[in-house]
Amino acid sequence: MNMLDTTHDAALRSWVESANAPDSDFPVQNLPYGAFRRAGSDEPLRIGVAIGDQILDLKQARGQCPWGPGIDELLVPLAAGELKPLMAAPAATRRLLRSALSMALSEGSDQAPFLELCLVPQAQAEMALPCTIGDYTDFFTGIHHATAVGKLFRPDNPLMPNYKWVPIAYHGRASSIGVSPQAVVRPTGQSLPPGTEVPRFGPSQRLDYELELGVFVGAGNAQGRPMDMAQAEGDWFGIVLLNDWSARDVQAWEYQPLGPFLAKNFATTISPWIVTREALEPFRVPFTRPAGDPQPLPYLDSAANRERGQIDIALQVLIQTEAMRAQGLPPAELSRSNFRDAYWSVAQMLAHHSSGGCNLQTGDLLGTGTQSGPQPGQGGSLLELSQGGKQPVSLPGGETRSFLQDGDTVVLRAHCQREGVRRIGFGECRGTVLPAPVG
């Protein structure tokens, strides 16, 4: 199935010059959507498209620029700050708007003189959640993370018996999802310190990040009507970076028998720009399982998923401590990994989530779970990198970290790149830890 079209042409250049830089996350081949207003203003949120270091304001663009047949109607909800109508639209409709935006922003466009007046520098914008998120589910698709964490607690049997058969997940808290850059207050909760029998209540001492992606649901499904794999593959709208902040000491005490609760619900940070499924088409790769592993059950299997179910997304985690900022040191890299190593695909996540009759809705968010790599040092969390706190990670300036301290800033980045295709990126997912409330 070839879903590539002229919008993916690597030779395309934009009249927005910053979009043509080789390392730009937002060339004209990307065109992600986000919600914004001008910083310091009280203007209503509107949907914009990232292009280079600018944002195309779709409210102004609709009012000031002529568009072809059918495009003006698609811009109406976007100009009003509503992304969900486009998210729920058929794939052909989404591609129609993408094609129109691509032509309008490409070199030689007759619309350029109108749209030049509709650009807002990203540095002067205040970003918001791209849409109202009704429900949030966090999966556990990163097998290398699951294995590494399992070894800390069950050295002889790190993976639970169901892991290779069922996409494991838990329901998270949508109300505490915030957009990058986010200030994250250190959570408080119960934990059981080693060697004690009575739990303590207080600020978490083992605060951690988790490197994940977030998948936004498109049209969704009716209650009692599960998606098959073909429907699931066609229904997701796009992907953001996601940091699933985790209080490991609280988690260790509370998670049995019902799973995470206060250890996870205090904050989740996502990047502001949704990179669409259409933009990611050139980076699809086959879905495969290691020799000897069971193949998915029929409801989680399809020829299309085997052919192109995975996505080649390179991932990176960086940290900048308060001391590093004071010394003028840039963020330091902690790890790299790739989403193509996930054990379950995006379509399998949606198909399984709906398989019991659950009705997914437009704008629901699905976390992928922590995306760690297979090699040492590729852990997507400090829990892995520090071996549960036993081997602190060395940082520039002589500091070490087993878990996050107040003032630490965690930065997630990601991009897609392959020969003959224009590199695209996701921007940053940035969050800074603030002290727990006093009293």
Instruction: Say which amino acid occupies 435.
Output: P
Cβ atoms of residues 250 and 266 within 8 Å = no
Q: Clarify whether 145 is annotated catalytic.
A: yes
DSSP string, 287-322: ----TTSPPPPGGG--HHHHHH-EE--EEEEEEE-H
The residues near 221 (Cβ < 8 Å, ≥ 6 apart) are 227, 231, 235, 354, 359, 360
Of the CA atoms within 13 Å of residue 356, those in its CB half-sphere come to: 4
Contact partners, residue 197, CB within 8 Å, separation at least 6: none
Distance CA 325, CA 436 (A): 21
**Are residues 27 and 7 in contact, defined by beta-carbon separation less than 8 angstroms?**
no
> In which element (H, E) is residue 278 found?
helix 277-280
Contacts of 9 (CB under 8 A, 6+ apart): 29
Amino acid at 177: I
Q: Are 60 and 48 in contact (CB under 8 A)?
A: no
Sole residue written with tokens 């922003």: 105
Cα distances (Å, whole numbers) of residue 73 to 76, 98, 250, 413, 434:
5, 14, 49, 34, 44
Cβ atoms of 246 and 210 closer than 8 Å: yes
Instruction: Tokens for 437, please give them.
Output: 């409330």
Q: Active site residue: 8, 144, 145, 353, which one? A: 145
Estimate the crossing angle of helix 91-105 against helix 71-79, to 10 degrees: 90
The string over 167-176, giving b where at least 16 C-beta atoms fall within 10 Å of a residue's C-beta and e elsewhere, is: bbbbebbbee
| Residues classed as catalytic | 145
